[in-house]
Amino acid sequence: MPSESSVAEHYAESDLLAAIRAGMVTLGKTEATVSVEDLAPVDEFHIGGKIATTELCDRLGITEETELLDIGCGIGGPARFIASTSGCQVTGIDLTPSYLDVAEQLTRWTGLSLQVRFEVGSALEMPFDDGSFDRATQLHVGMNIADKAALFAEVYRVLRPGGRFGIYDVMRFSEDEISYPVPWASNNSMDYASGVTTYRDALSEAGFEVAEERNRSEFAIEFFAGLKARTAGMGGPPPLGLHIHMGPGAPSKIANMVEAVTAGIMAPVEIICDKLS
């Protein structure tokens, strides 16, 4: 099993902020003028980007009064998007300190520091009191966590009674081998993508009741096709995009992920569940 430090190292990218700033300059944006919308192509580090975030959050009933926890928040894209569109308060937690340094900077640039805050920490032992949040989100995080039962028990602990939890993870539908690297793993030693049944069982064990479940494979394939067409039309990747997160290995990581989803071995799945008491 990979250590949490090895997972953090997999995602760490020392020049990430500089790369984002360079992309902003190409787009004619500055730290004073860049918006959440401008950053969306690089901010939303999961299949489907902002559209997937929007559709997940539409099912969570987020309002201005909501206190939301974003687990594995990365550089804070979904946290900023949700805060900016709903007016709610968002706390993001992530293992990777360099990601959170970037998250805090981008949050300052977009004027959301009073609504969005970040904590370095493990999703398996979160530094929050019991019942601290009304809602929780987890976007493309579970693939790096072997102990789903411990993860969901911890999420259950920090949610208030009546709280709702939205998951959007890549899950396995076949035991066939996939090619590495992929965006969440350099090799199979750090790939803990699991089947839907594993998620359901772990959520039930933690005390959650599953309200909705959606396989988003067709959505993912359409997203990949659109991404490929836009890249070809531009003659290369855009100034701001998911490739910035993944460095020089981006083409291989994306190609291997697309191959696994297209073959039906994996697919992004959305699960909405409730803490009833």
Say whether pLDDT at 143 is over 90.
yes
Could you tell me the two tokens for 81?
């998007």
What class does CATH assign to 4-274?
alpha beta
Whole-prediction pTM: 0.92
Other CB atoms closer than 10 Å to residue 113's CB: what's the count? 11
Summarize pLDDT for 35-92 with one digit per residue, the tens.
Answer: 999 999 899 889 999 999 999 999 999 999 999 999 999 999 999 999 999 999 999 9
pLDDT band at 183 (very low <50, low <70, confident <90, very high): very high
| Cα(121)–Cα(66) distance, integer angstroms | 22
Say whether pLDDT at 213 is over 90.
yes
Q: At what angle do helices 196-206 and 148-158 cross, to 10 degrees?
A: 40
Q: What is the edge-to-edge ordering of all strands in the sheet holding 89-94?
A: 116-120, 89-94, 67-71, 133-139, 159-172, 266-274, 209-215
For residue 70, the cross-strand partners are 92, 137
| Cα(266)–Cα(98) distance, integer angstroms | 29
CA nearest neighbour of 266 among 152, 146, 147, 176: 176
Most confidently modeled range among 15-19, 97-101, 153-157: 153-157
> Given this model, what pLDDT does residue 103 score?
96
Q: Are 69 and 132 in contact (CB under 8 A)?
A: yes
Summarize pLDDT for 244-272 with one digit per residue, the tens.
Answer: 878 788 889 999 999 999 999 999 999 99
* Three-state DSSP class for residue 223: helix
* Three-state DSSP class for residue 49: helix
Mean pLDDT of the chain: 93
Say whether pLDDT at 14 is over 70.
no
131: left (phi over 0), alpha (psi -120 to 50) or beta: left
Contacts with 247 (C-beta within 8 Å, 6 or more apart), sequence order: 13
For residue 117, the cross-strand partners are 91
Report strand pairing: 133-139 vs 67-71: parallel
Could you tell me the two tokens for 42?
């690089």
The full set of domain ranges for the chain reads: 4-274
Sign of the torsion formed by the C-alpha atoms of 264, 198, 125 and 165: positive
Contacts with 87 (C-beta within 8 Å, 6 or more apart), sequence order: 63, 64, 115
pLDDT band at 5 (very low <50, low <70, confident <90, very high): low
% residues pLDDT > 70 (the chain): 95
Cis before 181? omega within 30: yes
> Given this model, what pLDDT does residue 10 score?
47
Say whether pLDDT at 17 is over 60.
yes
Give the amino acid at 113: S
> Given this model, what pLDDT does residue 236 score?
81
